[in-house]
Amino acid sequence: MPENTIALLFPGQGSQAVGMGKDLYENYPAARQTFEEADDALGYKLSKVCFEGPEEQLRLTEITQPAILTASVAALRVFETRSSKPAYLAGHSLGEYSAHVASGTFSFADAVRTVRNRGKYMQEAVPLGVGAMAAILGMDFEKVAVVCHDAAQGEVCEPANINSPEQIVISGNTPAVERAAKLADERGAKRAKLLPVSAPFHCSLMKPAQDRLDADLNAIAWHKPVYPVICNVEAELVTEDVRARDTLLRQVTGSVKWEQCIRLLIAQGVQTFVEVGPGKVLCGLMRQIDRSKTCLNVSDEASLAKTIESLAKTVI
């Protein structure tokens, strides 16, 4: 395996920030074209919401999802012209769509429209206040799974994001998630905190959203991925378009097995990871999973320059 085995990682919901992508938009035609393409596909100025806010609007799930996807693909298109090709791609939840755009599995315009609908369906699947999510810090997966089971009491309470050995997010009915957070505290978690989210993502309460998304995924043109994409639901390599569709559909109700995804990439010989898109959430999780690996990021002109310089030293 060559020393320069690179995997690109794409962030999910929660990485959004007002102003994301503006720097690249102003300096690179490829980024400008990406935002314009998204505006055309959606029929409104997504670019304006990304660059100027307001933050409350950017936080609406059906805006957040296409916004992060667009900022990520804009960064990708600029980065691609300056970097060697990646060996693998992975994305956290929503980010898996960015990874498939990067791999040519479907078009960017189709992805933008699909994730807009995905966000809308997820938001509408559960009435506001009925569902919740909580982050359990410093407790291993087996213990968190038992906590979820004990707290459910006939309601839904499930591990939703297995982010790192230090951080697991749970999801389900609000009373059950509140009981689980309290139980986790009592059973030795470092911390258990409810998250400010608008819906209980990645649990069985999202089944209505998954059913609605099925038709959208059927309506788009699929192609064989150019690069292997690691899927969240199984933490396995996806190299076929039929499998890509299936794993993206099941991801709505399934757990995001992020730690396992990263460990698989490390087992494949990846030494260098590049987080492409807004924020540095995935680089933060990488430090919790394996500090010996390099994690760079590309979100604006400064981080792009720094990453290109860093890669030039490591790539043979």
Write the CATH number for 143. 3.30.70.250
- Tell which of 197, 229, 251 closes a domain: 197
Is the same domain home to 107 and 233? yes
> What's this model's pTM, rounded to 2 decimal places?
0.96
Is the same domain home to 26 and 169? no
Q: What is the pLDDT of residue 197?
A: 87
Interhelix angle 29-42/61-80, rounded to 10 degrees, is: 150
Annotated catalytic residue, options 92, 98, 198, 202: 202
Q: How many domains is the chain built from?
A: 2
| pLDDT average, residue stretch 5-24 | 96
Q: What is the pLDDT of residue 1?
A: 39
Tokens of 148: 């979820």
Q: What is the pLDDT of residue 198?
A: 84
Could you list the residue range(s) of the whole structural domain that residue 19 is in? 6-125+205-314
Per-residue pLDDT tens for 22-61?
Answer: 999 999 999 999 999 999 999 999 999 999 999 999 999 9
Per-residue pLDDT tens for 196-245?
Answer: 888 999 999 999 999 999 999 999 999 999 999 999 999 999 999 999 99
Annotated catalytic residue, options 15, 47, 83, 93: 93
Per-residue pLDDT tens for 109-135?
Answer: 999 999 999 999 999 999 989 999 999
Is the same domain home to 74 and 47? yes
C-alpha to C-alpha distance for 45 and 35, rounded to whole angstroms: 9
1 in a structural domain? no
Is the same domain home to 216 and 248? yes
Active site residue 202: yes
Is the same domain home to 95 and 230? yes
Is the same domain home to 35 and 58? yes
Is the same domain home to 115 and 182? no
73 in a structural domain? yes
143 in a structural domain? yes
Is the same domain home to 111 and 214? yes
Is the same domain home to 177 and 278? no
Is the same domain home to 145 and 275? no
